[in-house]
């Protein structure tokens, strides 16, 4: 018998908490679309840098966010990518992960006008259902009605270690201390901003993944998906009115 499953799943959490890996696996298992919203903010930051826009120019950045052509595609290259990101047709999958983008993306993403310009795009992608969406504010702002909300967390040291290993695996030079410092800074900006700050939605399930392998994390999340109907029933009974 087919299980009843949430048609939209939100995965939020700080940098390198495993949202992309987990979201990709979950979407694959469910036959859903995986959409990593961090790509939008990264693509805008990357394009702004290429066009020489100042990171303090909110109006120009918001205009760019409204018009920039950003596409996520099924990859035709097998170099460890989960998807191919194109900006105006150009493959920028790895360029948007570089340190220069990391340094400015949380400044760009804190602007309310930029976030507003991206909100409808994100909702349109999720409108048909059967989607796993990852980011910082998916459960709180973009898809407050998501059927299942996961907030993935891990200590900054564990997350920096994971990011360090990822960079090394791609053959890029990486300095652990620098990654840790930069990540803490980005997390602080993401948590402290006024527009859609990073925080778990009240109805999110928080998973702390230090010491858990990706398989173990996936198993926990899969159990949540499988028990979804049952758990919702329970919550409804426990919260009368
Ligand atoms: O991959 P990583 O976890 O390092 O970051 P990301 O998910 O690619 O997101 C990059 C940045 O975009 C974050 O640090 C946030 O500043 C911003 N972002 C956001 O504000 N809202 C989202 N829904 C997703 C990302």
* Distance separating alpha carbons of residues 142 and 19, to the nearest angstrom: 16
* Distance separating alpha carbons of residues 43 and 65, to the nearest angstrom: 9
Select from 136, 151, 152, 195 the residue to mutate for testing ligand 1; criterion: most ligand atoms less than 8 Å from CB.
136
* Distance separating alpha carbons of residues 92 and 133, to the nearest angstrom: 20
**The total number of residues written for the chain in this structure:** 241
30-34 long-range contacts, Cβ below 8 Å, gap at least 24?
Answer: 30/5, 30/130, 30/132, 30/225, 31/130, 32/130, 32/131, 32/132, 33/125, 33/130, 33/131, 33/132, 34/82, 34/83, 34/131, 34/132, 34/134
Q: What is the pTM of this model?
A: 0.92
What confidence tier does 229 reach under pLDDT thresholds 50, 70, 90? Answer: confident
* Distance separating alpha carbons of residues 25 and 95, to the nearest angstrom: 23
Report pLDDT for 234: 55
Sign of CA dihedral 161, 163, 168, 174: negative
Evaluate: CB of 37 within 6 angstroms of ligand 1. Answer: yes
* Higher-confidence position of 239 and 213: 213
Helix, strand, or coil here: 199? coil
Report pLDDT for 240: 44
240 CA to centre of ligand 1 in angstroms? 36
Domains recognised in the chain with CATH numbers = 8-228 (3.40.50.300)
Which residue is closest in CA terms to ligand 1's atom 21? 136
Atom number, ligand 1, closest to the C-alpha of residue 15: 3
Q: Are 40 and 133 in contact (CB under 8 A)?
A: no
38 CA to centre of ligand 1 in angstroms? 4
Atom number, ligand 1, closest to the C-alpha of residue 187: 14
Evaluate: CB of 38 within 6 angstroms of ligand 1. Answer: yes
Task: Show the DSSP H helices in 89-175 as ranges.
Answer: 99-108, 112-126, 156-169
Report pLDDT for 172: 85
178 CA to centre of ligand 1 in angstroms? 18
160-167 long-range contacts, Cβ below 8 Å, gap at least 24?
Answer: 160/16, 162/16, 162/18, 163/15, 163/16, 166/16
Report pLDDT for 3: 55
Residue 5 has pLDDT above 50, yes or no: yes
57 CA to centre of ligand 1 in angstroms? 19
User: Which tens digits make up the pLDDT trace of 148-186?
Assistant: 999 999 999 999 999 999 889 988 888 999 999 999 999
């Amino acid at each position: 018998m087919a299980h009843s499953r949430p048609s939209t799943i939100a995965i939020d959490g700080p940098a390198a908490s495993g949202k992309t890996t987990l979201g990709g696996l979950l979407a694959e298992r469910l036959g859903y679309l995986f959409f990593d919203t961090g790509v939008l903010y990264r693509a805008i930051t990357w394009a702004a840098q290429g066009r020489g826009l100042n990171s303090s120019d909110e109006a120009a950045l918001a205009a760019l966010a409204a018009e920039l052509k950003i596409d996520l595609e099924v990859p035709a290259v097998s170099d460890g990518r989960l998807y191919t990101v194109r900006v105006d047709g150009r493959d920028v999958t790895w360029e948007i992960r570089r340190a220069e983008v990391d340094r400015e993306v949380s400044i760009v993403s804190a602007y309310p006008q930029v976030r507003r310009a991206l909100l409808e795009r994100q909702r349109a992608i999720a409108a048909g259902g059967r989607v796993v969406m990852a980011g910082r504010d998916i459960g709180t702002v973009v898809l407050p009605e998501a059927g299942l909300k996961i907030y993935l967390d891990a200590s900054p040291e564990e997350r920096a270690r994971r990011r360090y290993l990822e960079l090394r695996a791609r053959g890029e030079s990486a300095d652990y201390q620098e990654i840790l410092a930069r990540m803490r800074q980005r997390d602080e900006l993401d948590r402290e901003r006024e527009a859609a700050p990073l925080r778990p939605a009240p109805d999110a399930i928080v998973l702390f993944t230090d010491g858990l392998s990706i398989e173990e994390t996936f198993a926990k999340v899969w159990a949540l998906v499988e028990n979804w109907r049952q758990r919702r029933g329970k919550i409804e009974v426990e919260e009368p009115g």
